[in-house]
Amino acid sequence: MDRKQFSQLLLLLLTTFSALAAKDFYDILQVPKGASDSLIKRSYRKLALQYHPDKVKGTEEEKTAAAKRFAEISHAYEVLSDDEKRRIYDRYGEEGLKQHDQGGGGGGGAADIFSQFFGGGFPGFGGFGGMGDEEEQTPKGDDVRVDLEVTLKDLYLGHQFKVMRDKPVAKPAPGKRKCNCRNKVVTRQLGPGMFQQFQQQECQECQNIKFERETETITISVESGMRNGQEIVFFEEGEPLLDGEPGDLKFIVRTLPHKRFQRDGNDLKYNLTISLVDALTGFTTEFEHLDGHKVKVEAAGVTIPGQVFKVEGEGMPLFDHPNKAGDLYATITVAFPAKLSEAQKDAVRKVFKGMHDEL
């Protein structure tokens, strides 16, 4: 197979992978599969504000990535916020939705959904002020951070992990409790011209609450090209807080060392051992990539130890562009024979006679 055929095959493989790895709407909105409507709504709100094209500052590339993300978030919300569409999506996936959509007119664009949700203007910008501040004041439970150990192969192909999670859930309990307490400064007149100021706590009465542990299954989608240290977030799945919002549940990608490959950004490094004869006379060799497909390296001339062969497009897939990939660098190690017989030595001397006279 020549280089061209080979890269065609690779392209085919990569497109298959990226089709498989089409992003799940629940993943996009950072909520578990069974998420309630209100959780989906809150998460959309947070993400839409975060990735709205008017709000993202940075390089053109970052803005483009954010715009793409914004469109994804809006599309996912459009589906998951509509009972019928969500049911179809849960059962038949995106394909099912496409067939469904062919009947009626498709949904509006991302900006339409955004303005339907927020009612026109941009919250926190000009006229709409306050919304962002209000959000910051809501007390939030702690984020739960969990290391997720993945192999390089998981990051190359993408992989779904199912984890069981024991989570405290707030349940109504008998009795009442004080809640939403606020400190108020009260001024009392003690006598003529004598005032005393003191703080007083004002509370409301709320239904008592107890936390019960519930087990749920969470599917974590590790997408191809994800980086070490990247976070996979489940919105409001962290520690709950009385009278506040729960924190988030964050899985942090930790790459396990691989026996044969090392990752360097989007590139891969590989140590390729060849024989002394191959080093001197040229060679064609193949080795297995992370998913088992073969990578070919060849040299016509002399190869020295430490020499590096670059194989384009055989690195890691890019997270934001799964059809593109980094490169692979194969560093040559030459396997020398442990020893030569006298006859072999003579033969070698004869072959190389006169070649190194300058040394």
Ligand X SMILES: *[C@@H]1O[C@H](CO)[C@@H](O)[C@H](O)[C@H]1NC(C)=O
Residue 262 as a binder of ligand X (CB under 6 A): the answer is yes
Structure tokens at 304: 């020295």
**Nearest distance, CB of residue 71 and ligand X, angstroms:** 38
Total chain residues near ligand X (CB under 6 A): 5
Q: Using alpha carbons, select from 271, 270, 334 the residue that is nearest to residue 303.
A: 334
What are the two backbone dihedrals, phi and then psi, of residue 289, each rounded to the nearest 5 degrees? -80, 180
Do 157 and 224 meet the contact criterion of CB atoms below 8 Å apart?
A: yes
Please say which residue, 29 or 330, places its beta carbon nearer to ligand X.
330
CA distance 48 to 25: 14
Do 230 and 198 meet the contact criterion of CB atoms below 8 Å apart?
A: no
> 3-state DSSP call for residue 346?
helix
Please say which residue, 15 or 262, places its beta carbon nearer to ligand X.
262
Q: Where are the beta strands (DSSP E) in 16-100?
A: none
Residue 284 as a binder of ligand X (CB under 6 A): the answer is no
CA distance 272 to 309: 9
Residue 153 as a binder of ligand X (CB under 6 A): the answer is no
CA distance 79 to 86: 6
**Nearest distance, CB of residue 258 and ligand X, angstroms:** 8
**Binder of ligand X out of 26, 114, 156, 270 (CB under 6 A):** 270
Residue 344 as a binder of ligand X (CB under 6 A): the answer is no
Q: How far is CA 24 from the centre of its chain?
A: 12
Q: What is the CA radius of gyration of the chain?
A: 30
Each residue 232-261 as x (binds ligand X by CB under 6 A) or -, in order, gives -----------------------------x
**Binder of ligand X out of 23, 46, 269, 324 (CB under 6 A):** 269
Residue 273 as a binder of ligand X (CB under 6 A): the answer is no
Using the rule CB under 6 A, give the single segment among 142-150, 159-167, 267-275, 299-307 that binds ligand X.
267-275
Using the rule CB under 6 A, give the single segment among 38-46, 66-74, 264-272, 281-289 that binds ligand X.
264-272
**Nearest distance, CB of residue 331 and ligand X, angstroms:** 6
The residues binding ligand X (CB under 6 A) are: 261-262, 269-271
